Amino acid sequence: MLRGILSASGGSAEFFGAETRNLVTRTLRVKSSRLRSWTNIIRRKLCIPFGNDSKIDPKLRRAATIAEERARAHSLSKCWHYVKEALVAAGVVKSRPQTTLAKQAGQELVNNYGFKKLPVTDPYQAPVGAVLVYGAKRAAGHVEIRTEDGFVSDFRSKTPSRRPLLGIFAKS
């Protein structure tokens, strides 16, 4: 970049002076090191769930894979519908859950299907296959399944929902 500036100004390094060249060089180094540190932070957050959690039902990992295969690029506002279908297709639950609102999913999974609420509050630390339930004051809420690459419901996402997390649920 500095060479392009120097060549556009007549190719003379003396045109800018030594102080300007050092300032430009230092600024480029700082910006590239900041970019590297942000990239490492993002990678670390997404690498947390990659291990196998033997306490979690392996069918939940299969449900995550099924949900990922069926998910769209953008939301259809049918998150709980898609998560229900993935849980049934993977054999995690025998019958389709009956609740209509996504924010009610956690209670139904615990009461009727043998799920347990995990003591995890950070969505990034949820095991692969866990069902994350989010609340909303006046809306239906949101439900998604943790995958190796991020989160999935009716669409794929690298980041969790911004809604308040009600709980992370899994079956043993």
Say which residue, 8 or 143, is predicted with more confidence. 143
Domain boundary among 15, 33, 49: 49
Same domain, 8 and 83: no
Q: What range does the domain containing 42 cover?
A: 2-49
- Which run of H or of E encompasses 170? strand 165-170
- 30-52: b or e for each residue (b if 16 or more CB lie within 10 Å)? eeeeeeeeeeeeeeebeeebeee
The domain spanning residue 76 has which CATH number?
3.90.1720.10
Q: Are residues 29 and 16 in the same domain?
A: yes
Q: Per mean pLDDT, which range of 9-18, 70-79, 121-130, 145-154 is the poorest? A: 9-18
80 in the same domain as 19: no
Contact 147, 87 (CB under 8 A): no
Average pLDDT over residues 115-141: 94
Give the pLDDT confidence of 153-172 residue by residue, as tens digits: 999 999 999 999 999 999 98
Q: Give pTM, 2 decimals.
A: 0.70
Amino acid type, 46: L
* Total domains present in the chain: 2
Please report which confidence band the pLDDT of residue 131 belongs to, taking 50, 70 and 90 as the band edges: very high
E-only strand ranges, 1-135: 116-117, 131-134
Q: Are both 97 and 147 inside the same structural domain?
A: yes
Same domain, 58 and 138: yes
Residues 45 and 76 in one domain: no
Q: Which two tokens stand for residue 76?
A: 């259809």
Structure tokens at 105: 């999913």
pLDDT of residue 65: 94
**Distance (Å, rounded) from C-alpha 136 to C-alpha 25?**
49
Closest CA to 128 of 76, 78, 54, 77: 54
Distance separating alpha carbons of residues 56 and 101, to the nearest angstrom: 25
Q: Which distant-in-sequence residues (6+ apart) come within 8 Å of 137 by Cβ?
A: none
Q: Are residues 80 and 43 in the same domain?
A: no
pLDDT category of residue 117 using cuts at 50, 70 and 90: very high
Confidence of residue 139 (pLDDT cuts 50, 70, 90): very high
Residues 107 and 162 both lie in one domain: yes
Query: How far is the C-alpha of 140 from the C-alpha of 165, rounded, in Å?
Result: 13
Looking at the fold, whether 38 and 88 belong to one and the same domain comes out as: no
Say if residue 149 is in the same domain as residue 113.
yes
Do 36 and 97 belong to one domain?
no
- Is the pLDDT at 45 greater than 80? The verdict is no
